[in-house]
């Protein structure tokens, strides 16, 4: 399953305060208002529609086909043609299909591919066509599918993954840390990493050095304003962002992070599973991997609430289902997308993969609240993650303007700062300049496309 890095949980996700969130995403319109050129519903659920998923075969073939079959049984006048495509080159294929007028009626979208199509006006405004839908979903997931400067919501949220905290409690205790007091802020996280480096004598590291999975989430949690109020310029060149780069550089030099991990060339699951890393990835799916492949380390693993920082928000990762704006069968496409994302179907999917429902009723299922005896990491990860999701906020997510291209440009500068090849203040300034240059280009292209 193509679960995207949790960075963009603020990533991401991507997810710091509601002021920042609102500013970053341009949330100003009422989703109940229809956008221009939306399809018109006829009330007749019929026709053949195409449903495209992203890399779900063969692992989830039976599940997806079962959902389709049940829908067709309920709506006898609808036929669903399912196609599953690989993740590599997915965005390029979507753009090509859009230009050729060959988009599927219902499309599985990650954050980047959603932005690509929605910015180009290729997706139907779900909120306008299905005004009752908002109440079905957790707010943090629903708000993911708004666009800066536009009214409406342009996709149904599908499955989601929240950020959590995982750590080796044995190594944690050996560093003199209390497992009942895990870090709640980025600054505390860095303080504990420093203590781990100091007390272990280089035998274990705290976390991975590559900033790709940490930004812009860490900055948002530290109160760094990622974007201006209009959402049309990056503004993260601040004293706090420089402080982040300075501490990362110092921790890297102290051995709190594996040297080779700066380039992302090391496998975090392998390092954690071999007992050489204290903090694991902030993803619930990681717990299952350790359970299957490193049972001894699994027994030493503890799970806690995500680091929220000053603003108290977590990162969430989401997938969605968009509906082609010019679909010939809007009623069938909308009903099908709504069917796939309803509570029961999302709960069933969650029991087959380490994911969570974006559907609020689905999240109320006892499966997500049963703690057992409170000692099993996988069970506790599920419960903690579900509790976090209920209050997950949009501003805890990576703003749509933080594209992969922007992330890569920022990461290149932060690598230099962490390695000691560039002064942190200069690296942050260069990163912001590069990000704004990319953003300006993207905005110019979008305006040109909208005129076409």
Dihedral sign, Cα of residue 274, residue 275, residue 276, residue 277? positive
Q: How far apart are CA 68 and CA 71, in angstroms?
A: 5
Provide the pLDDT for residue 397.
61
Q: How far apart are CA 147 and CA 394, in angstroms?
A: 12
DSSP string, 291-319: HHH-HHHHHTEEEEEPP-GGGT---EEEE
Beta strands in 267-415 (DSSP E): 301-305, 316-323, 356-357
The residues with which 279 forms a beta bridge, in sequence order, are 167
Taking each helix axis as running N to C, give the angle between helix 61-74 and helix 343-350, from 0 to 180 degrees, rounded to the nearest 10: 160
Provide block-wise average pLDDT over 10 residues at a time, the chain (452 residues). 35 27 30 60 95 96 98 98 93 90 95 85 94 92 84 94 93 96 94 96 92 90 91 95 98 94 85 94 86 95 88 80 96 98 97 93 94 92 91 65 91 97 98 97 75 61
Provide the pLDDT for residue 16.
25
Q: How far apart are CA 426 and CA 413, in angstroms?
A: 9
Other C-beta atoms lying within 10 Å of the C-beta of residue 194: 16
Backbone angles phi, psi at 160, to 5 degrees: -135, 160
Task: Give the strand pairing for 106-109 and 316-323.
Answer: antiparallel
Provide the pLDDT for residue 348.
97
Tokens representing 146 are 């708004």
Tokens representing 42 are 């006829």
Q: What is the pTM of this model?
A: 0.81
Q: How far apart are CA 320 and CA 73, in angstroms?
A: 24
Provide the pLDDT for residue 450.
61
Q: How far apart are CA 278 and CA 298, in angstroms?
A: 12
Provide the pLDDT for residue 408.
95
- In contact, 271 and 258? CB cutoff 8 Å: yes
Q: pLDDT over 70 for what percent of the chain?
A: 89
- In contact, 334 and 130? CB cutoff 8 Å: yes
Measuring CA to CA, how many Å separate 236 from each of 11, 125, 192, 244, 434?
Answer: 15, 31, 25, 11, 12
Q: How far apart are the first and last CA of the chain?
A: 35
Helix (H, G, I), strand (E, B) or coil at 223: coil
Q: How far apart are CA 274 and CA 283, in angstroms?
A: 18
Locate all alpha helices (DSSP H) within 77-124, ordered by sequence: 90-100, 111-119
Provide the pLDDT for residue 282.
80
Provide the pLDDT for residue 412.
97
Dihedral sign, Cα of residue 245, residue 246, residue 249, residue 255? negative
């Amino acid at each position: 399953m193509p679960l995207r890095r949790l960075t963009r949980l603020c990533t991401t996700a991507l997810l710091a305060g509601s002021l920042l969130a609102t500013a970053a995403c341009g949330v100003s319109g009422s989703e109940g208002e229809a956008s221009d050129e939306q399809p018109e519903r006829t009330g007749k659920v019929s026709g053949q529609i195409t449903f495209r998923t992203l890399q779900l075969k063969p692992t989830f073939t039976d599940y997806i086909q079962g959902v389709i079959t049940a829908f067709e049984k309920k709506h006898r006048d609808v036929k669903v043609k399912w196609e599953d495509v690989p993740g590599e080159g997915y965005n390029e294929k979507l753009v090509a299909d859009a230009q050729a007028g060959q988009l599927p009626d219902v499309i599985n979208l990650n954050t980047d591919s959603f932005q690509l199509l929605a910015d180009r006006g290729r997706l139907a405004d779900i909120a306008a066509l299905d005004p009752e839908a908002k109440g079905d979903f957790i707010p943090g997931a629903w708000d993911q599918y708004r666009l800066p400067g536009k009214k409406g919501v342009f996709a149904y949220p599908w499955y989601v993954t929240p950020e959590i905290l995982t750590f080796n409690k044995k190594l944690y205790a050996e560093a003199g840390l209390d497992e009942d007091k895990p870090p709640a802020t980025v600054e505390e996280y860095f303080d504990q990493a420093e203590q781990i480096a100091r007390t272990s004598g280089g035998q274990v590291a705290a976390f991975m050095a590559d900033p790709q999975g940490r930004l812009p989430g860490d900055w948002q949690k530290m109160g760094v304003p990622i974007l201006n109020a209009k959402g049309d310029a990056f503004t993260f060149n601040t004293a706090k962002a420089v402080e982040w780069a300075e501490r990362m550089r110092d921790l890297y030099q102290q051995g709190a992070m594996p040297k080779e991990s700066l380039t992302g060339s090391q496998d975090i699951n392998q390092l954690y599973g071999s007992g050489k890393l204290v903090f694991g990835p902030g993803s619930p799916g990681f717990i299952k991997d350790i359970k299957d492949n490193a049972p001894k380390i699994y027994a030493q693993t503890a799970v806690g609430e995500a680091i929220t920082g000053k603003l108290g928000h977590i990162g969430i990762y989401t997938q969605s289902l968009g509906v082609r704006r010019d679909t010939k069968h809007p009623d069938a496409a909308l009903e099908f997308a709504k069917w796939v994302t309803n509570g029961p179907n999302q709960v069933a999917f969650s029991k087959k993969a380490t994911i969570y429902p974006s559907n609020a009723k689905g999240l109320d299922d006892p499966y997500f609240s049963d703690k057992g005896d409170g000692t099993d990491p996988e069970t506790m990860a599920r419960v903690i993650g579900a509790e976090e999701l209920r209050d997950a906020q949009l501003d805890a997510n990576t703003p749509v303007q933080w594209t992969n291209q922007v992330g890569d440009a920022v990461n290149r500068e932060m690598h230099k700062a962490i390695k000691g090849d560039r002064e942190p203040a200069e690296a942050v300034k260069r990163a912001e300049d590069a990000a704004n240059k990319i953003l300006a280009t993207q905005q110019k292209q979008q305006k040109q496309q909208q005129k076409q």
